[in-house]
Structure 1
């Protein structure tokens, strides 16, 4: 009778092919892990994952600052409403560039569509003559404690003003230099609105 425990030898060619296939599987697995690790630690990110604004590290903290509205009253942060803010703190000599910026911000806000109700615009100080305002604009009085939490706010001038994105809790997380592309602001805030 045949003993089932006796191993029939595997031909050398088939054995080498199986070993080669196993090595190929191991190389593909570990090779992709090594490439992914190298990309991660080199700082590379896919274009769809990058923000256009400057990510502030550490973020400014406006939670304890209570902005006063120019018309009277206070602007409450109210994190439960999940409202994002776009803050503009222009210098006094910003006129034509700030009028254009107000039109751009109105356009950006309208492009949020049904999510527009979750975005407010805070304009620090009186807007220049001819600035376009919509219903979500809140004009707040300039205050040193407010401006102190906006990094490099003094870089604005006749060429424009920096713009900041503030999260629902009151942290200043993104900064856009004067003269930025409004489409970049729209893209970044639209991504943030999906984080609900």
Structure 2
């Protein structure tokens, strides 16, 4: 009768075990490290270049729905959200001179670059006298509307009366002011932001 020998436990490859543990730790560090970095970027306000606005996002947006703009011709300018019209709005001071000329040129260029969507973009030039109008020979967008009552616009919109110059704003189809562009803004940035908004709505 043969005596059974106790089974020899399998040998453990210490190096393989350590390698597997190291790999698990590395995967954990990679996973949680990525989450930590993403969280830090999110709370610092960073956004990928393609998603970043060129203008300042107004939070909360300024609600102009109860404001009934009056045109220089004496009629009311309706918001009409169903038409999905976006607005570029500015309110130059009296005697803005060369700045009005530059703004008229820049906004006309931006408007023309929208091509088939240009008629969905109105330019609201808020001005109560000829002193804040663009020069008579300036080329302006076909959809430009001269709006009166600059005082009530300045009361409602933050930063409209800026000592540094003339800011420009974007108003959505419902009558909310959503973006602000500081005096001396890059017209290409305004066009890029508005082009994205036109695709969304």
Do they superpose with TM above 0.5?
yes
For residues 5-27 of structure 1, give each alpha carbon's deviation from its aligned partner in whole angstroms, at most 9, with x where no partner exists. x9845422222222222222111
Question: Hey, what's the Cα distance between the residues in 2 that align with 1:95 and 1:49?
Answer: 35
Q: Is the 8 A contact 2:88 2:123 kept in 1?
A: yes
**Is residue 159 of structure 2 the alignment partner of residue 152 of structure 1?**
yes
Question: Hey, what's the Cα distance between the residues in 2 that align with 1:7 and 1:110?
Answer: 81
How far 1:31 moved relative to its partner? 1.0
- Which structure 2 segments of 5+ residues have no match? 1-7
2:146 is paired with a residue of what secondary structure? Answer: strand
How far 1:30 moved relative to its partner? 0.8
Partner of 1:12: 14
**Is residue 2 of structure 2 the alignment partner of residue 23 of structure 1?**
no
Question: Hey, what's the Cα distance between the residues in 2 that align with 1:148 and 1:87?
Answer: 15
How far 1:89 moved relative to its partner? 0.5
For residues 48-99 of structure 1, give each alpha carbon's deviation from its aligned partner in whole angstroms, at most 9, with x where no partner exists. 2222222223322111001011123211111122211000101111122101
How far 1:42 moved relative to its partner? 2.2
- Which structure 1 segments of 5+ residues have no match? 1-5
Matches within 5 A, 1:138-149: 138-149=145-156
Partner of 1:66: 68
Partner of 1:102: 104
How far 1:119 moved relative to its partner? 1.1
Structure ID, larger Rg: 2
| TM-score, structure 2 as length reference | 0.84
1:85 is paired with a residue of what secondary structure? Answer: strand
Partner of 2:170: 165
Question: Hey, what's the Cα distance between the residues in 1 that align with 2:10 and 2:153?
Answer: 82
1:190 is paired with a residue of what secondary structure? Answer: helix
**Is residue 59 of structure 2 the alignment partner of residue 57 of structure 1?**
yes
2:200 is paired with a residue of what secondary structure? Answer: coil
Partner of 2:118: 116
How far 1:145 moved relative to its partner? 2.6
- In the alignment of these two chains, the number of paired residues is 189
1:155 is paired with a residue of what secondary structure? Answer: coil
How far 1:164 moved relative to its partner? 0.8
Question: Hey, what's the Cα distance between the residues in 1 that align with 2:41 and 2:96?
Answer: 42
Question: Hey, what's the Cα distance between the residues in 2 that align with 1:187 and 1:149?
Answer: 26
